[in-house]
Amino acid sequence: MLIYRLLTGEDDVGFCHKVTKALSEGWALHGNPTYAYDAHSRKMRCGQAVTRIASNQPYDPDTKLVDY
Q: pLDDT class for 8, splitting at 50, 70, 90?
A: very high
Mean pLDDT of 28-54: 96
Q: Give the span between the Cα atoms of 1 and 60, in whole angstroms.
A: 11
CA–CA dist 29, 39 (Å, integer): 27
The arithmetic mean of pLDDT across residues 20-27, rounded, is 96
pLDDT band at 64 (very low <50, low <70, confident <90, very high): confident
Query: What is the pTM for the complete model shown?
Result: 0.84
Domain boundaries, the chain: 2-56
Q: What is the mean pLDDT of residues 6-10?
A: 96
H or E stretch at 32: strand 28-38
pLDDT at res. 57: 82
Provide the mean pLDDT of the chain.
93
